[in-house]
Structure 1
């Protein structure tokens, strides 16, 4: 009875559950980004399962959770461009930010990260009696150039420095003052999602810088072309300018392949801001909040990406308008040439018509002359036979009738030859079968 997509679409609401965490835990989070090699994500998951004895997931899985024992668990998620591995282990000591969450993973599996590890984070959630000592020694564990922290969710504190340490990991220290059930797991997930989505959003920054340099070059090429358009008077030069502008438009269009990267960057930025909003931060005196830090450090990079892409679209629009204007000017010049050509053809036709009339007049005179000459010879012969006829008088009387007869004969002959030509446009207008063939 149900549509075949109902179950899978309804399950999307529950496809990515929050971590279930209780007590103090250590967490290691990795984001794998393999541009152009999507098969690596499931391959890494299957390899991990084989090496550590976990159940192999089904094909096409986008979310996977498993436990090695009561104290260690795995959470894997497949996203559009990346995948994440999150290892969680219960913490019973104060050796914070050690490799406790992933110590049981064979080192050969981590070699599969080569060139693909995009985010690496170590987090510590401290709860119970250890919170006081952790709060007093925040700078011992988070010793970057800028300490960022805030009270979150009304029951804890978060400290970080957003820097990558020599071991390749970033650090987050979370102190559980009074989290409600499962709030700790949700908080940790929001924090590593902020960092992961932030890094994915910043993928557009090097593209924006390269695009900006390309736009500078194209801008330099466009200025002299626009100046030439303004000062050009020769039609031949217009055609050359049109070709050069068309090449420039092609180069700009080739840069539009980055649109997907910028669209993804905007989407990731929205996710980062949404996750920060969900933290419900409160200020810790003397320490900037995560939202404030991102506003100063992350927002400018995103504005750069937006500005460069907007500049690309504006520049592409300018070139397109210039091409349209120049093409219009070339078309007008072509129309002027066509008009002059038609005028010349019209003058030629009129000259031919006048010549034809002159030729017709000469033809009438010549034919009449020969007819009268023949008639004169006949009249002279009759006169020789003693017919009572004056040859010169008879010839004189025939001049007018012969000329009129010759003129009428020529016109009738001309009319018979012109009739089919005059009928041809009529057949085209009437939609006859022959019109389609001629067209």
Structure 2
């Protein structure tokens, strides 16, 4: 086999989501399903729709599916990373616009399965021929929100919308075909519902940003208070407690970092929205804002809020990290000063012990010399009793000097041998002459 196992799959990805091919007036209904707790719901709902409407089931693991139903509508299903979309398209020959013609034959219990998960719901009408000319002058009959947005797009049509969710739960888009080339109508409808879907997915970060902003206000105030305590004089004794408080503050801020993925996804969806708007190649209709202008005024501030809140989160995290480093340095310096004072006290104690040891050694020399002289005097007295011509008192007095000198010499020699032995032991501990065998093997 010449090809890599992933070649066919990755090559087919370019053609995974083809545009709708529309050459007449159509009605389109678009759903986006979003759920955080049940990722398998997307495939489950699709298979339930296939069973309920007797259309073929998709293959296992499919991420896109397109099929024509016996009820006249065409279904296009796509599975995205976080959501899935259901797009129903049916040819339109009457003027009963924005009705339920696109979902004829879909049982009501199927809609109950997606209750609470419907994130986007749009109705679109693409009108061409005589219907387009009639609707162009009466667009306000169907698009009558507080702000009507409209523009000429792709050099061959017009789009009208009000970006309002109506009482039936749907948004409306009216598209007038004034000379679209082949497949331009399908591409336009797809770009429009992608703009709305990606816009809603991008705005998922906005509620999180608002809550995160309030939490950051509390953390910022706490950090300011701790920084003022650090700068106050005489706070050295409380540095350890301040370090503990700063650490708890850092942990609290880190617990808020779980929203980082949501903000990253929001930025990605925002780029997709802006790219799809650019692809419309809008031209102004007098008296109406374009889709790009509307998004710049309403959508861009929300995205800027999300970016600024996350940037503030990162700034506060950097400030806390710097404060922890500064306080830890100050704590380490204070500990080093304490250790220095402790070592100085130990040095004084050792010096005093040395002086005391020298004094004790002097007393020891005197005491040993006294006992030796006592023995020598007893020996001289014994010799005198044996009629040996020795004067005990005189001999004892003469022996005082040699005995004392001998005791001093013996004491110094003994102390020198002990000191030499201790020095040898210390060298053996610090630098062993024969390292362990396993250390030699590791070095080798």
Asked if Structure 1 and Structure 2 have the same fold, meaning a TM-score greater than 0.5 normalized by the shorter chain, the answer is yes
Does residue 316 of the first structure (1) align with residue 317 of the second (2)? yes
SS at match of 1:46: helix
Provide closer, same or farther for how the CA distance between residues 232 and 46 of structure 1 changes in structure 2, counting only shifts above 3 A. Answer: farther
- The CA deviation string for residues 326-358 of structure 1, in whole angstroms up to 9 with x for no partner, is 111111111111110111111111111111111
Cα distance in 1 for residues equivalent to 2:178 and 2:12: 34
1:232, distance to aligned residue in structure 2 (A):
4.5
Does residue 249 of the first structure (1) align with residue 223 of the second (2)? no
Q: Which residue of 2 aligns with 1:415?
A: 416
SS at match of 1:409: helix
SS at match of 1:59: coil
1:22, distance to aligned residue in structure 2 (A):
1.6
Map 1:40-119 to 2 at 5 A.
Answer: 40-69=41-70, 71-119=72-120
Map 1:250-329 to 2 at 5 A.
Answer: 250-329=251-330
1:296, distance to aligned residue in structure 2 (A):
0.2
1:435, distance to aligned residue in structure 2 (A):
8.9
**Alpha carbons 1:232, 1:238 under 8 Å: kept:** no
SS at match of 1:398: helix
1:21, distance to aligned residue in structure 2 (A):
1.3
Map 1:25-424 to 2 at 5 A.
Answer: 25-69=26-70, 71-424=72-425
**Alpha carbons 1:201, 1:269 under 8 Å: kept:** yes
Cα distance in 1 for residues equivalent to 2:65 and 2:430: 74
1:36, distance to aligned residue in structure 2 (A):
2.0
**Alpha carbons 2:66, 2:74 under 8 Å: kept:** yes
**Alpha carbons 2:71, 2:104 under 8 Å: kept:** no
- The CA deviation string for residues 26-67 of structure 1, in whole angstroms up to 9 with x for no partner, is 000000001121010000000001111111112211100001
**Alpha carbons 2:71, 2:105 under 8 Å: kept:** no
**Alpha carbons 1:31, 1:120 under 8 Å: kept:** yes
Cα distance in 1 for residues equivalent to 2:71 and 2:128: 18
Say which is worse superposed, 22-31 or 217-226, in terms of deviation: 217-226
1:404, distance to aligned residue in structure 2 (A):
1.9
Cα distance in 1 for residues equivalent to 2:72 and 2:178: 22
Cα distance in 1 for residues equivalent to 2:22 and 2:423: 96
1:236, distance to aligned residue in structure 2 (A):
3.1
Q: Which residue of 1 aligns with 2:440?
A: none
**Alpha carbons 2:229, 2:235 under 8 Å: kept:** no
SS at match of 2:29: strand
1:432, distance to aligned residue in structure 2 (A):
3.8
Does residue 14 of the first structure (1) align with residue 18 of the second (2)? no
- The CA deviation string for residues 3-31 of structure 1, in whole angstroms up to 9 with x for no partner, is 11111111111111111112000000000
Q: TM-score scaled by structure 1?
A: 0.96
Cα distance in 2 for residues equivalent to 1:55 and 1:246: 58
Cα distance in 2 for residues equivalent to 1:221 and 1:432: 57
Question: What value does the CA root-mean-square deviation take over the aligned residues?
Answer: 1.6
Cα distance in 1 for residues equivalent to 2:230 and 2:406: 66
Provide closer, same or farther for how the CA distance between residues 418 and 434 of structure 1 changes in structure 2, counting only shifts above 3 A. Answer: farther
**Alpha carbons 1:428, 1:434 under 8 Å: kept:** no
Q: TM-score scaled by structure 2?
A: 0.95
1:434, distance to aligned residue in structure 2 (A):
7.4
- Which consecutive unaligned segments of at least 5 residues does structure 1 have? none
Say which is worse superposed, 235-244 or 76-85, in terms of deviation: 235-244
- Which consecutive unaligned segments of at least 5 residues does structure 2 have? 438-444
Cα distance in 2 for residues equivalent to 1:234 and 1:206: 40
Cα distance in 2 for residues equivalent to 1:54 and 1:71: 12
Provide closer, same or farther for how the CA distance between residues 17 and 70 of structure 1 changes in structure 2, counting only shifts above 3 A. Answer: farther
Cα distance in 2 for residues equivalent to 1:39 and 1:267: 24
1:244, distance to aligned residue in structure 2 (A):
1.1
**Alpha carbons 1:65, 1:76 under 8 Å: kept:** yes
1:362, distance to aligned residue in structure 2 (A):
0.7
**Alpha carbons 2:31, 2:121 under 8 Å: kept:** yes
SS at match of 1:174: strand
Residue correspondences, number: 437
1:235, distance to aligned residue in structure 2 (A):
3.4
Cα distance in 1 for residues equivalent to 2:132 and 2:400: 137
